[in-house]
Amino acid sequence: MAKKKKKKKRLYVRPGDKSRCRFCKARVRNIDYKDVGTLHKLLTGQGKIFSKRRSGNCTAHQRSARAAIKRARAMALLPYTGD
């Protein structure tokens, strides 16, 4: 029987990979709660926040986006429920 080859784990992210966060690509430091258009892209039709995997955000920007969405909802810029 032939031995199976083990796949090597990729230890780094290549510069051309599409798995980078959209906010990291744009070099955004803080996500503004007043930027409703950007925040609306991170919500489902029901008004739920997309997961980190689904939205493609890194951990730091996902936390920042979640806080910005909650602030925008409190200021009545975004709805709590969908359309």
In a domain? residue 64: yes
In a domain? residue 11: no
In a domain? residue 39: yes
| CATH assignment at residue 59 | 4.10.640.10
The one-letter amino acid at 1? M
What is the pLDDT, as a whole number, of residue 81?
87
What is the pLDDT, as a whole number, of residue 57?
93
What is the pLDDT, as a whole number, of residue 13?
53
What is the pLDDT, as a whole number, of residue 3?
76
In a domain? residue 2: no
Rg for the chain, CA atoms, rounded: 18
In a domain? residue 42: yes
The DSSP call for residue 42 is T
In a domain? residue 63: yes
Range of the domain at 46: 22-74
Residue by residue, pLDDT tens for the chain (83 residues) are 677 777 766 555 556 556 689 999 999 999 999 999 999 999 999 999 999 999 999 999 999 999 999 999 999 999 998 76
Domains identified in the chain, total number: 1
Between CA 50 and CA 40 the distance in angstroms is: 10
